[in-house]
Structure 1
Amino acid sequence: MYTCNESLLVKQVRNNINGGKVIFKDRYCAGPDNETLVTELSIQPTNDSVLGSITLIMLIIVMALIALPCFYSIWIIQNQMFTYIGFILVMLSCLIYLHFFNIKKEILTIIRCTGVQLTTIYATGRKQIQFVDVHNIENIVINEAVSMHKIIYYLAIILRRHPKTEQDHIIIPVFLHSMPRLDTLTDIYQTIHECLWKEPATINDTRT
């Protein structure tokens, strides 16, 4: 049996690589000997960021409503249903964006000696869950990607190569949409190693 220590929930407001603010939460569940068994790390946009996304969608709808009468006056002779079809297409486009692309929260759950679970929650409540068994994990590193203007650091899970296949290592990026800064990635990296493998991680080991 283990109990969740809600009083030990850590909630901080941090910046991502684009300068936007995100809410970083760290919550863990411990056993009778106070040994950490499950750690849940989550990153989500602040209320200002969510309000900005909603404002953008509303602006698109308003612009569509303003533009549709103009098109309707041109095409009224040929197709009287043009306005209704256009309005429906705009609404469907907004729903598709909210359901498949607008991410509300990303959660990384680390279970001691068992594995990690990646959960992505979208604006409509849809969840995308992926579990990775600890025996399939070769390492968890902070990698870097170089663009023309900057270096982007990201957390990645490296899976073991299957002995019967010639497939290269599979890399699963973590918090790819939230894109936290390097200091936040370092905290996450250390938490994963301490919880999953019971081994401390030094900052020098984080860049691979």
Structure 2
Amino acid sequence: MEDEQSFSDISGGRLSLQRRYYTQSCREFCLNCPRLSLRSLTAVTCTVWLVAYGLFALCENSMILSSAIFITLIGLLGYLHFVKIDQETLLIIDSLGIQMTSSYASGKESTTFIEMGKVKDIVINEAIYMQKVIYYLCILLKDPLEPQEISQVVPVFQSAKPRLDCLIEVYRSCQEVLANQKATSTRS
């Protein structure tokens, strides 16, 4: 079963959450971030080129214009390949673990896998960000030496920064999978 719902991020931008329920013990959540704004891209490019043209007018050195074009192109490619994330995915399988995937605008993907045996819980936490309180979903990992303690907190959907209503949808579904996993492991 698959459904899609619209939410907003902490800045008011539009996010799209796709939920895929493969089985009771396997669910996937894809959060699509807003695409690159042509308006902001044009503004940054024009600003860099106007400053370069101003410097060219003062110095009369054509290398300034060439370097401005080169810096703009390299900067855009770097931004698309290392910074701008288009989609974040969370796949949870109760018998295996949790996989988090970030898809960049350039097509590059970054994947992290956490074994289910290392997962203590999935919670919604709060933080202060830019003079306001925001909420984020995070995975609590067990301490290998002391299983009742938490060794690490792994935040999910770091780039999209969805609001609380979206996080609650994902949280509830993840808790259902974790409850199913705990019930299965106690029966065995």
| TM-score normalised according to structure 2 size | 0.85
Query: What is the distance in 2 between the residues matched to 1:18 and 1:81?
Result: 39
Query: What is the distance in 2 between the residues matched to 1:155 and 1:168?
Result: 16
* Displacement after TM superposition at 1:189 (Å): 1.1
Letter in 2 for 1:68: A
Alignment partner of 2:35 out of 34, 50, 53: 50
Identity %: 29
Match of 1:33 in 2: none
The structure where strand makes up a greater share of residues is: 2
Letter in 1 for 2:35: V
Q: What secondary structure does 2:138 align onto?
A: strand
* Displacement after TM superposition at 1:37 (Å): 3.9
How large is the Cα RMSD of the aligned pairs? 2.3
| TM-score normalised according to structure 1 size | 0.77
Query: What is the distance in 1 between the residues matched to 2:165 and 2:181?
Result: 20
Is the CA contact (8 Å cut-off) linking 1:115 and 1:196 kept in structure 2?
A: no
Q: Deviations over 1:51-86 (max 9, x none)?
A: 5x232112211233333232223223xx44222122
1:194 matched to 2:176? The reply is yes
Match of 1:177 in 2: 159
* Displacement after TM superposition at 1:197 (Å): 4.0
1:122 matched to 2:104? The reply is yes
* Displacement after TM superposition at 1:161 (Å): 0.8
Query: What is the distance in 1 between the residues matched to 2:130 and 2:69?
Result: 40
Is the CA contact (8 Å cut-off) linking 1:61 and 1:91 kept in structure 2?
A: no
Query: What is the distance in 2 between the residues matched to 1:191 and 1:100?
Result: 30
1:57-206 → structure 2 map (5 Å cutoff): 57-76=41-60, 79-146=61-128, 149-163=131-145, 169-198=151-180
Structure 2 alignment gaps of length 5 or more:
183-188
Which structure's relative contact order is higher, taking Cα pairs within 8 Å and 6+ residues apart?
Answer: 2
Is the CA contact (8 Å cut-off) linking 2:120 and 2:150 kept in structure 1?
A: no
Structure 1 alignment gaps of length 5 or more:
1-7, 31-35, 201-208
Q: Which region of structure 1 is more displaced relative to structure 2, 173-182 or 126-135?
A: 173-182
Task: State the aligned residue count.
Answer: 180
Cα 1:125–1:15 shift into 2, 3 Å = same
* Displacement after TM superposition at 1:199 (Å): 6.5
